[in-house]
Structure formats: structure tokens, C-alpha cells
Structure 1
């Protein structure tokens, strides 16, 4: 189920193929690494330290072919210029973007100029649309680094863009700095030929449960582009919020867009906002796939549009996290007519706003829709999308309707056993693989990490699990030829800030990006772990709050817990959680009655280990108590359940103490205690 705990347990898949490579596959992969010019793994000790800085040692996704040349490194200097293909505005744009990327850290002017001929210049960086290896296709590239320069060749501009992302990773990590750094800026020498395994490499962002601004979505797009993701599936509507303006239907955003999970103002995109997101994504080789979820997950629209309800009465807005309870009215002629008029209006406007080929229509968890009515309506919706010149995409429950020949189906199923979808795939339906137990970025990393859910992965979705599966073999009975690509969905029940998106995405998103790009024969987690470890310092310079998985040999461990740091505010008045008097003695009370002043006594770190820390100590349930009314204090961190807190979303974001099953609660006087979780204002906390 895409968003929430399944209503019925799903059986574990027995005999799951492709989760771990066979001995033969491991040997082939090791041989492949050697042929690619990269070190083959040699056993458990192989992941203990990052490889030396040679071409390919830090590249993610792994290229198809890498031939290092240690004698051929090219140093950027103040004289380096960027030359782009003559007559290509796109090549010039990509070259300008590369210069803007490199200038802050290097301090070099990096002039961008047009090539005089198809030949590479004698010195500098060249971006050319001629002479690439024939295997590269529309998105691939050839990259050559010698002592005199860097040449990226591609057949299409998107290939040049992907080559630039690889060049970025070949430079030292401080290239990501926003201020001038000392360098040196040497690109390792060698030859790369690269192209993707699948044409569709996607990431889904749910902006319906928690709203994210245009600038925040663009920041997220930056992270996708670094790893050659080329589709952003934007989940625009759901029970908790309607996020896209529709001309002639202002109530969809004024009412339907006014809420989000846990309360709060919500928000929406004007049509110009949406155009800006689409254009920003396109400049980074990313196609936006908008989704309007139908016929369920529709409460925000029902609350805004009474005629979409069978009784003509609008339900109240919804801020919880349950699924499957809402539906368009399809059981009466008037209801069906209103639903068709509504959907045609929305689909038509979105189609006009979206240059990409796909428009997603949901189709999932319509538990309160009659199956026959669902089948008839969703068949019509697919046809309506086609009438507006787009290809429909939908979740795998769309097999309950008549599939149109062009419909693209995204498989989130947790078992890999869906005979109806496998039969459709065998008949020609294209598949995007996004199994929740491997690909859902909203799942916790472990049972103890703070953000995320556990319905698909009770013990957590660690990086290796996200990496070690085969999209071609996941759906039993489906031909590999049906798989068009992979997608990493990020539902936002527990993600309310850009930092939350960072944490849930990194390092699992790069792992899934490698599945979508790199050759299947080169799949090897030990080697991936070595390479992605070198990205930690880059992410830190970019302000990305990532999960420091113990499965990755990161270059250095930070001092103290990692996690978001800042004030913890309480309720609508936004007073701050504070250590009384700023004292550090064990047993010092913590209260919520203090105006925010940014002092150390009000600066908390929500650690990946579930602790909430200030002044070097932890928020603690007194004496390990679990009863209602147990007071809360500051205490030396000791790793007990009394000091473990997790997000809980009801009417507002709450802090749950799992050991007691109770929530952090503020009394009328401002003192804190554990109390039964009741979604009251006294239990609403806004974390950094």
C-alpha cells in the first residue's frame, strides 16, 4: 500500500529471486569491476576505508566503462575556459551552469565560449555534441581527461548534462563549497563511456501530506540531478491537501489547499509556480510527472467541492494519516457526471501546463469505491488523459480497470506476486518498479531511527536492502523487457522540512539511482559503500543532513549525535522547550513556558538515535517511569527507553516515547510530563 500500514497482512515472499547475487554473479561482478578499471571487492575488510582518489573511485552511479590513466590528470587553473558546441544553445546553457557550479569554490573566472570547430580545444573543458562512442544513446556521454583538458562528448544535450554531473564528482569534495577554497582542483585522468540501464529513473515527492514551497522543491530537484534521476513524480493531491491551482475552481486551493498532516497552513502552487518547477526541472534533465490521485485519496477535493459527494455535503478537511476512506461519488448519474466534468477540467489544465509525456492518475487504495464503478471510471480516466495528449501513469491497482495500451504502471507491491500485473506486463504494459520494502524512502532506516514509518519494513530499510534487489526480477512472471525503470517514492507523513527530505533520501536515493543507471553485472554493495562514503563530505558542504548508516565506511564520524539542531517550539504560541535556568545538573527540569531566545538551553538536537539533546544531556522520563504524569527532566544520556522519542502525527506533530506509549505533554503551567497521546494542543511540537 503506497502510504500507510496495510489493512491486511501481506505474506512474505518466499524464494525471493535476485535479492542477493549468486556466487557466479559475484564473480562476474568482480571481474567486471576489474575490466572497468576499478578495484574488485576482496571481502568484509574491503569497505573499511574509501578507495584512493583515482578516476571512478567516488562515482555514483557507477559508469559502464572506466579506464583510469594516473598520468593524465588535468588541473583547473585561473586560465581554464569552458568551450561548448557551436550552434547549440543547450550546450551553451549547460556550459554556463558548469561554470556557475565551479566558480564559488575555485574563485576562477571560467569563461564560457563557443567552439570554433568539432575538434576539442587544446586546453580547458569542452562540451561537444559530436564524436561520442555510438553506444551512449540519448542520455549517455563519453568523458576523457588528459593532462591538457577535459572533453565531454554526447549525442544529445541531456548526455552532456549527465557527463557534467560525473565531472563534478571527479573533482575534490570542497568543490561543493560556497566560498573560495585552496584547491588544488585536479580531475583524475582517464576515459569513461557511460549510458543508463533504464530510460526512466524516477523519484516521487509527496507535497500533499506536507506542503513544500517552490524553492524547497527546487532544492530537492538539485539532489535528484546529482545522481542522474530524470523524472520527478510530483504527488500533488491527496486527502490532506490539494496543491495545484485549477482555473475556475478557486475553492480547490482556498479550502482543499489549506491543510496538511498534523495541522498547519498547508499551501498550494499557482499555475505560474508549477510552470517554474517544471522549467527548473527541465534545465536539469528532469521531466515532471504530475499526479492527481483518483478516485480515492480525494478528501481535500471533496471538502472543497460539495457536488463531488453523493449527499452534496462537503466533509471537513482532514489532517490525519489514514488511507482508503475517501472516494468520488460514482454511484449516481449526477455524481458520475460531476466527477467526469471535474476530472476532465483538472486533467486538461495539467496537460496544458506539463510538457512531459506522462500524467499520473493514482488509482490506489480506493477501498470505499465499488469495484465495478472503479473499473469503469478508471478506464474512462485513462482515455481522458489520452484525449488530452498525455500517457497515463498509475499505481498497480489500476489493473482493476481495463488497461489502455500506453498506460505505465508503477508497482509498489510488497510481495512481488501480482499475477494480474504480470499478465499485463507480458501483454506489453510498461512497468516502473518501486516496491515499498526496497524503494520507499519514507520508511525508517532501522526500527529506532526517528523519522519514517515501518509498515512496509518493520525492522527498517537500511541502505544495503535498498540497493540489493533486481528490478528486472522483482515481479514474478513479468518479462524483464517490460521494466522501463525504477522510482523512489518519498511520502511525507513524517517529513515536514527540507532537512527531513534530505535525511530520508541520503544515502538511499543514490543507491536506487545506481540501480536505475548502472549495469546489472556491476552491482556490488561493498563497492557502492566505498564510493558513496566519499560523498558524505560533499553533502555536509551542501547542507544536506544525511543518515550516517553504519553500513557505509564514512571518512570520519562527527562529534556527538547527528540530526537537526535548533529550537523546539510548542503549540500555536510557539514558546520554546527550555532547560530551566540553563543548568546542566542531572534532574534539571525542562519546561515549555519560556519565550524563544536561541540560547544553548533552548538549542536541541534530535539525534538519529532518537534522543533529544541539549547542553550535552538528554530529555528523560524521570526514573524510567511510564505512567501518566511522569515528569520529564534533563539527564545524562544513557541509551535507555526513557530517553527515546519518535515522531507521531495525529491532529498535530507529537513526540512519542515508545517505551511508555505516551506523548510529551505540556501542563497549563508549562511543566512537562508523559501523558496518553490525544492529539491535543498540549502535545503539538515543532522540531528543528
Structure 2
């Protein structure tokens, strides 16, 4: 019997019997688990309409109930996670996510060594209740699960620059992440098209840099109060928000906001659609540049107290290699001097790094070769820009070997499988979605099916990587050049986020498409109740 859970648990044994979940079922927790219990009760009511009863831990619960416990029993039956935590916590210490869930006709028990572990177990129980909910009750199978993640960093990078997604949308994305046991939300906060975070000493960054977005879309930014609320909301659901401040490239918004950063002669390429592609980056030879970088880091870092990392970008900087390397090296030093660790896109491997840094691998080798040889890039890029883009792509083949030679771990985000801005290949059963499917998604990328997002492996399909120990984690990227609305964002995220969760958490190899598709189909009942939009792929039998 396959349980309707995503990601799949490490071990699950189904027994005879059922547990009837109804409003009469009590949830018993005390002390440090009381917050987790309250969130669980609220989530189950939203997910299924069933209003469970909260029972104080000191009280005696009559009849069947759900008990939450801090307990290490049997968790060593599952190996600790590989990789690194975005919050810097110890994988087998304060942030051990391994847990147990046991359901019998007498009730349910969820346990683990940390509140986060219990939260992960409750997430599985949430999914089971939602999948079996009918007319105010849910009959759950008796089962014993011992589970834990394959990788410690399971992330989603979200572009809020090309389209500004405000706090309400971000909270919905956090809820999606939490449901899928995705524990990192990496916010891409700055780029050529806009600047989305407050820096009090540089007010023009938001006064000027946040005015617009791609095309004629409205701009916006997160105030410090809004960002604090979002970071806290995520932390309550055990999701760490990691900030990205892109540099030295992708700096047009910064340069236009702070005139002292502007080069003596601007370099850009007209894209022919009323926009231009900026080739100017921050100049490491200028004192104004480093005063700016320090101001930004000093303002941004305190806004993300739970993140041990600052993402410095480092990608697509169209400048001489030695200039780029000098910039990345100094920026990394400034981050470390402020007590944080460095993560950046794979191009930072062309600079001097330490083994504590993280390199985010995104240019998958076969797709890079196909892009260079294909016609799509030639049709999209103006002739004067094409050789610049191709030159950067060709350098990519050396990035992963360079990072691994330094002992730097990789954050696996290959464009071929984890760039969620590519078009959907699966047809939808919804006619309106068929129209969106032809419009939303970067035309540069070949369309990918939901199945293709499952049938790959972060180790086996990353050249040069031989074991989980070389990997920090797995992270998808959602870029928003073609995404203009919340519904379009969710349409591109779901059900792909489920595939990310399966790859980052589950230990099953090789992937079994039929089993996964059956489990995936059960998720839609919960998504529907949440009001989330998703691709109604005709390849899935949706609940």
C-alpha cells in the first residue's frame, strides 16, 4: 500500500486497523511543542475542514488522541541528513529533523528529538488527514513511519524583482514550502529590473530602484516591518529565509539609484522591445563601490536573523575574469567579517573561495551545450549580445570541478530539472491553463514534463559529484520574466514543488513514476481547499 505522502517517507509499515479523525480527536502537547500543536490544529482545519480539539499537556485526554513528544526512540533507524543547514544549526543536534509517526485505532503519536522534527511528522499527518477527509471525518490507515531527510538544505529560490510578489503572496509560498518539507526560501531581492529591500542609509534604492519591474509591471519593495513579519512567519513553520543581493552584475537598479556607482560610460544592449540588457557591473576598483556594499550588508543582514548565509549572486557578470574574481573575493570577505557564510551562483567558483562557502550549481552541462548549439538563443539575443552570452556559458564547464577541488559544497539547482520558469510540457485538462501554458515560461528553455522533474538524481546527474557528502542541498529556482500574477506563479510552482521535495528529502532510488504519480494525485484535495493554483496535468489522476 502506497501512502499518499510527498515526499515519500524513509520507512513505512502499514498495519491492520484505522483511526477515525474527527472534531472529537484531541491533540495533546505541552511546553515547547504547544506552538507546533496549535499550528497543526489550524492547518488541519484549513486543509480538511476538521476542527481538532486542543488538549493541554497536563490534562488527561479521554478516548483516542494525538500525542506529541520530544523523544529519540528509533530515529537512528534513519541516517542523519547530508549537507548543510541554511540556519547553520547542527544536523544531528538542535535541528535534527528525524521523527516517528505511529497511527493505531487508539490514536496517533508523533515524536522526534526537536520541535522541528515533530513539525515534520505532523506535516505527514496533515497530508494523510487531508487525503482521507470526507464529510468532516478522515479514516486513516494504521501505520508506523520513521523518517528523515536525505539533504539538510531543501530550498526554493524566488525572484521578486522581475515581478514584485508582495507579503501575502510570499506567505502562500511559505505555506507551500512547509507542506512539502522544503525548509529554505531564498529571496532574489535585487537585479537589473528593481531593488526590493530597504537600506536606510541609501533611501534612493527603494525610492528609485523599486519603482518598476519587468516591462510595465508595478514595482514595490519590502519594508523592514514587512520583512520582519515574513521572516518570523517562515521561522514559525521552520523555513529559513535567505537573502540574495546580486553583485557585481545584475546591478542596473543599484547603479540607477546611486549615481556615484555609475560608470563613466554606460554599456547596454537594446533588446528591441523597449528594454535594454545592462552590461555594467559594480566596479571593484572604486571606493564608492565598497562603501555601497558595506552599507547594504549592514542593512540587510540584521533583517534575516535566522539565516547563516548571505547570497552574493556573482552570476552573469560581463567583465574580465580577473575583475570579477577580485570583486567576489572581497565581497565574500565582507560577508564573513559580519559573521555570515557565503553562498553564490556557480560563477563564484572562478574566484578564491573557502571550503565553508557554498556554490550554487545551475548551468547543467548538456543543456548549456544544447543552448549554445540551438536556435532559440540566437533568435532571442541581439547579435552584439550573443557572443557575450555564449562566452559566459562556455566557462561554466569549469565551475563545478573548481568548486569541488576547493572542498566547497554544491547547492544543486540544475536548470534542466529545477528551473521552474521553463514551460510545462504536460497538457492541462483546463482550457484556460492551456492558454497560459503557451504563454508562461521562458521560451529559451525546452518544455519539461512533471515526470522529467522526478526522474533524475542530484548526485548521479551532477558531473564530478560522487556522494551526498559533496552536496550542501537541493534548491529549485523560480524566475519571473514571464510570470506576472500570483496565479501564474502558483501555476509554475505546482506540482513542480512536489518533485523538488521528493528529490531533496526522499531516499528512494531509482524513482518510481507510477508510485509518485499516485501519491501526487492525492495532494490536490488539500491544494484545492487552500485555494492554490496548479497545473492540472492530464498525466495525473487528481483527487
Q: Bin the TM-score by the shorter chain.
A: 0.7 to 0.9
Is residue 80–residue 123 contact of structure 1 (8 Å, CA) maintained in 2?
Answer: yes
Query: In structure 2, what is the equivalent of residue 385 of structure 1?
Result: 335
* Residue aligned with 1:432, SS: strand
- Match among 394, 397, 417 for residue 438 of structure 1: 417
Query: In structure 1, what is the equivalent of residue 123 of structure 2?
Result: 165
- Where is the helix percentage greater, Structure 1 or Structure 2? 2
Flag the 1:314–1:470 CA change in 2: closer, same or farther, 3 A.
closer
Query: In structure 1, what is the equivalent of residue 71 of structure 2?
Result: 130
Is residue 394–residue 408 contact of structure 1 (8 Å, CA) maintained in 2?
Answer: yes
* Residue aligned with 1:341, SS: helix
* Residue aligned with 2:477, SS: strand
Query: In structure 1, what is the equivalent of residue 279 of structure 2?
Result: 325
Flag the 1:172–1:376 CA change in 2: closer, same or farther, 3 A.
closer
- Match among 364, 372, 388 for residue 414 of structure 1: 364
Query: In structure 2, what is the equivalent of residue 547 of structure 1?
Result: 535
Query: In structure 2, what is the equivalent of residue 666 of structure 1?
Result: none
Query: In structure 2, what is the equivalent of residue 518 of structure 1?
Result: 506
Query: In structure 1, what is the equivalent of residue 11 of structure 2?
Result: 65
Structure 1 distance, partners of 2:462, 2:197, is: 33
Query: In structure 2, what is the equivalent of residue 185 of structure 1?
Result: 138
Structure 1 distance, partners of 2:111, 2:274, is: 50
Q: Is residue 44 of structure 2 the alignment partner of residue 95 of structure 1?
A: no
Query: In structure 2, what is the equivalent of residue 275 of structure 1?
Result: 228
Tell me whether 307-316 or 186-195 shows the greater mean CA deviation: 307-316
* Residue aligned with 1:187, SS: strand
Query: In structure 2, what is the equivalent of residue 197 of structure 1?
Result: 150
Flag the 1:518–1:394 CA change in 2: closer, same or farther, 3 A.
same
1:453 Cα deviation after fit: 1.0
Structure 2 distance, partners of 1:208, 1:239, is: 8
* Residue aligned with 2:472, SS: strand
1:321 Cα deviation after fit: 7.2
Query: In structure 1, what is the equivalent of residue 373 of structure 2?
Result: none
1:451 Cα deviation after fit: 1.0
Flag the 1:386–1:239 CA change in 2: closer, same or farther, 3 A.
same
Is residue 302–residue 314 contact of structure 1 (8 Å, CA) maintained in 2?
Answer: no
Query: In structure 2, what is the equivalent of residue 470 of structure 1?
Result: 457
Asked which structure has the greater CA Rg, the reply is 1
Flag the 1:153–1:321 CA change in 2: closer, same or farther, 3 A.
farther
* Residue aligned with 1:160, SS: helix
- Match among 143, 147, 152 for residue 110 of structure 2: 152
Query: In structure 1, what is the equivalent of residue 57 of structure 2?
Result: 114
Structure 2 distance, partners of 1:479, 1:159, is: 28
Q: Is residue 473 of structure 2 the alignment partner of residue 485 of structure 1?
A: yes
* Residue aligned with 2:425, SS: coil
Structure 2 distance, partners of 1:132, 1:454, is: 51
1:508 Cα deviation after fit: 1.1
Structure 1 distance, partners of 2:332, 2:72, is: 42
Q: Is residue 284 of structure 2 the alignment partner of residue 295 of structure 1?
A: no
- Match among 83, 91, 107 for residue 28 of structure 2: 83
Structure 2 distance, partners of 1:338, 1:123, is: 66
Is residue 70–residue 188 contact of structure 1 (8 Å, CA) maintained in 2?
Answer: yes
Is residue 419–residue 477 contact of structure 1 (8 Å, CA) maintained in 2?
Answer: no
1:469 Cα deviation after fit: 0.9
Tell me whether 283-292 or 419-428 shows the greater mean CA deviation: 419-428
1:315 Cα deviation after fit: 9.7
* Residue aligned with 2:291, SS: helix
Flag the 1:321–1:289 CA change in 2: closer, same or farther, 3 A.
farther
Structure 2 distance, partners of 1:472, 1:249, is: 42
Aligned pairs for 1:251-400 within 5 A:
251-311=204-264, 325-330=279-284, 333=285, 336-355=286-305, 356-367=307-318, 369-400=319-350
Q: Cα deviations across residues 88-126 of structure 1 (Å, max 9, x unaligned)?
A: 2xx110100111123455454512412579xx9863111
1:400 Cα deviation after fit: 1.7
Q: TM-score, normalised by structure 2?
A: 0.84
Is residue 297–residue 323 contact of structure 1 (8 Å, CA) maintained in 2?
Answer: no
- Match among 350, 353, 377 for residue 403 of structure 1: 353
Structure 2 distance, partners of 1:128, 1:115, is: 13
Q: Is residue 19 of structure 2 the alignment partner of residue 74 of structure 1?
A: yes
* Residue aligned with 2:137, SS: coil
Query: In structure 2, what is the equivalent of residue 41 of structure 1?
Result: none
Query: In structure 1, what is the equivalent of residue 184 of structure 2?
Result: 231
1:454 Cα deviation after fit: 3.1
Structure 1 distance, partners of 2:405, 2:278, is: 29
Query: In structure 2, what is the equivalent of residue 573 of structure 1?
Result: none
Query: In structure 2, what is the equivalent of residue 427 of structure 1?
Result: 406
1:399 Cα deviation after fit: 1.4
Q: Cα deviations across residues 166-215 of structure 1 (Å, max 9, x unaligned)?
A: 0011114485xxxxx72322222110000000000000110011101111
Structure 2: runs of 5 or more not aligned: 79-91, 367-395, 427-436
- Match among 419, 436, 444 for residue 455 of structure 1: 444
* Residue aligned with 2:360, SS: strand
1:364 Cα deviation after fit: 0.3
* Residue aligned with 2:6, SS: coil
Query: In structure 1, what is the equivalent of residue 387 of structure 2?
Result: none
1:436 Cα deviation after fit: 0.4
Q: TM-score, normalised by structure 1?
A: 0.67
Q: How many residues align?
A: 483
Query: In structure 2, what is the equivalent of residue 42 of structure 1?
Result: none
RMSD: 2.5
Structure 1 distance, partners of 2:5, 2:425, is: 26
Structure 1 distance, partners of 2:52, 2:320, is: 64
1:452 Cα deviation after fit: 0.6
* Residue aligned with 1:463, SS: coil
Is residue 263–residue 280 contact of structure 2 (8 Å, CA) maintained in 1?
Answer: no
Flag the 1:538–1:109 CA change in 2: closer, same or farther, 3 A.
closer
Q: Which has the higher contact order (CA 8 A, sep 6+)?
A: 2
Structure 2 distance, partners of 1:377, 1:109, is: 55
Flag the 1:344–1:479 CA change in 2: closer, same or farther, 3 A.
farther
Q: Cα deviations across residues 271-300 of structure 1 (Å, max 9, x unaligned)?
A: 111111111111111111100000011111
Is residue 192–residue 278 contact of structure 2 (8 Å, CA) maintained in 1?
Answer: no
Moved over 4 A (4+): 104-107, 312-316, 318-324
- Match among 528, 533, 536 for residue 524 of structure 2: 536
Structure 1 distance, partners of 2:45, 2:304, is: 33
Flag the 1:467–1:363 CA change in 2: closer, same or farther, 3 A.
same
